[in-house]
Every structure is written in structure tokens, then in C-alpha cells.
């Protein structure tokens, strides 16, 4: 009986040690894609990123990614339309870095049907994510906008741009659990689209690019010139934070 008890205790100790070792290995093996890119001068290896959902078809040529969408793919949660769409292809990198910026150029010359879109994304889970893109509307105008989804409810902030716009640069910046999306027509001068807080965006995050066609359509989106830099969204230098009571 005593031998049996000691054997069980020994097994428990070994199991505990194994679990500790496994947890340590997980911590040690975490690959921070932003830190890796920073060490490589900001360059992003597209082949090292992970698909949350794969698209209908995609090709990587050097540092350029071509994504072909499938019909009826989208990201949206509940608000106003009351439906829930969570099947857009998303290619992302992971990081625990709290201050950085991510830049990418998008080419959507082939978009042609209502709501065809491609852009940047931070997809944490089905109910917590943000995205920025140009969505095709008709042969006169498109929607340049962003969607922020916290705890299962999406919003949509937009402005109209000409249907002649066929490329757009985006810059996604992080300062702790606050985020900024900017856009640019030339990759040099960026304009603010959105500042937001993400309820589940305080620790490890995943971010990258996406493309989708919510209706009966398909097109090929092109992503290029991806890089990470130091945080280009500088600390606020105006009104000071309220003091906690």
C-alpha cells in the first residue's frame, strides 16, 4: 500500500515537472513576428505568416501576395444588419510588442462588385477585431472606411472616394491597447481614419491583411510593400490624462 502511495506521488511530481517544462517551452518558443521583422530591418517574410482562414486561391511572389476571394465571404457582427459573417480569409502575424506600426500597400484594381474589399485587419477572435479597407460600391464611388468590433458588435465609419481609386496604403499602429488606422495614396503622407480601443487587445495580438467578397463576386487583391516600423503614432502632447480619484 505504501509503495503504491509513493508511486502515485512520484508520478504526480513527474507530471508536474513535465507540465512546468512544457509551459516553459511554450514561452521560450513563442515567435514574435514584429521583433523578428524589426531585426530584419522591418521586412516581413510573407511566407512566415499564418492563415486564420485560407482564401479561394493565393500566390506569393517575392514580397507580394495575391489573394483571390470567394463569393459570400465577409467579416461583420450583428449591428444594424443583425447577421453575423465570419468567414473572410485573414493572413496574420503575432506579437506581444506594445508599440509599433505596420504598413502595407493594397491594389484592388480587379474589384468590380458591391462590397468587394481588401485591406488591413487585426483579428483576435470572431467577436473582437478591426479592419480598414476600400469597399467597391459602383462605377461612381467607393467606401473608404473602417470597422471596429468589440464583444460581438461591429460599427462602420466611412467616407466616399472616387471609383477611380484603385490602390491604397494603410498604416496600422499600436500603443498598448489603443490602435490607430491611417491611409495614404502614396505611402508617404498618411491621414487618420480611426482611433479606437480594443477590449481584448492589451496583450498578444494577431494582425495582417484580408480580402473578401460579401456578395456573388470574386476578385484578386494584391498586397505589397509590407513592413513594420517603430510606432509612427506618437504619444499625445496635448491635454493630460485625468488623475484617478
Q: What is the pLDDT of residues 168-199, one digit of tens each?
A: 999 999 999 999 999 999 999 999 999 999 99
Q: Which CATH number fits domain 33-229: 3.10.20.30, 3.40.50.150, 2.60.120.200, 2.40.50.460?
A: 2.60.120.200
pLDDT band at 28 (very low <50, low <70, confident <90, very high): low
Contact assessment for residue 108 and residue 219, using Cβ atoms and an 8 Å cutoff = yes
Q: Is the pLDDT of residue 12 over 70?
A: no
Contact assessment for residue 186 and residue 225, using Cβ atoms and an 8 Å cutoff = no
The one-character DSSP state at 47 is G
Q: What percent of the chain has pLDDT over 70?
A: 88
The reported pTM is 0.87
Over the chain, what is the mean pLDDT?
Answer: 90
**In the chain, beta strands by DSSP E:** 50-53, 57-61, 64-68, 75-77, 84-86, 90-95, 99-107, 117-125, 128-136, 141-150, 153-154, 157-162, 167-175, 178-184, 191-197, 205-212, 220-229
pLDDT score, position 168: 98
Structure confidence by residue, pLDDT tens digits, 61-85 = 999 999 999 999 999 999 999 999 9
- Residue scoring higher pLDDT (38 or 9): 38
Grid cell of 222 as nine digits: 494584391
pLDDT score, position 241: 86
- Tell me what the mean pLDDT of segment 49-72 comes to: 97
Amino acid at each position: 500500500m505504501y509503495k503504491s502511495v509513493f508511486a502515485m506521488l512520484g508520478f504526480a511530481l513527474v507530471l508536474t515537472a513535465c507540465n512546468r517544462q512544457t509551459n516553459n517551452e511554450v514561452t521560450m518558443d513563442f515567435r514574435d513576428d514584429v521583433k523578428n521583422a524589426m531585426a530584419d530591418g522591418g521586412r516581413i517574410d510573407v511566407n512566415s505568416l499564418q492563415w486564420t482562414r485560407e482564401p479561394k486561391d493565393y500566390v506569393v511572389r517575392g514580397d507580394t501576395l495575391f489573394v483571390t476571394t470567394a463569393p459570400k465571404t465577409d467579416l461583420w457582427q450583428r449591428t444594424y444588419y443583425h447577421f453575423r459573417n465570419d468567414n473572410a480569409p485573414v493572413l496574420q502575424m503575432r506579437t506581444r510588442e506594445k508599440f509599433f506600426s505596420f504598413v502595407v500597400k493594397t491594389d484592388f484594381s480587379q474589384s468590380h462588385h458591391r462590397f468587394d474589399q481588401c485591406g488591413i485587419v487585426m483579428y483576435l477572435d470572431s467577436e473582437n477585431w478591426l479592419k480598414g479597407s476600400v469597399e467597391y460600391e459602383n462605377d461612381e464611388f467607393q467606401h473608404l472606411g473602417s470597422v471596429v468590433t468589440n464583444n460581438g458588435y461591429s460599427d462602420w465609419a466611412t467616407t466616399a472616394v472616387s471609383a477611380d481609386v484603385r490602390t491604397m496604403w494603410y498604416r496600422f499602429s499600436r500603443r498598448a491597447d489603443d490602435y490607430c488606422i491611417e491611409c495614404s495614396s502614396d505611402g508617404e503622407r498618411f491621414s487618420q481614419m480611426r482611433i479606437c480601443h480594443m477590449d481584448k487587445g492589451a496583450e498578444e495580438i494577431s494582425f495582417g491583411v484580408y480580402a473578401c467578397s460579401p456578395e456573388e463576386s470574386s476578385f484578386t487583391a494584391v498586397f505589397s510593400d509590407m513592413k513594420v516600423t517603430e510606432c509612427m503614432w506618437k504619444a499625445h502632447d496635448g491635454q493630460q490624462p485625468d488623475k484617478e480619484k
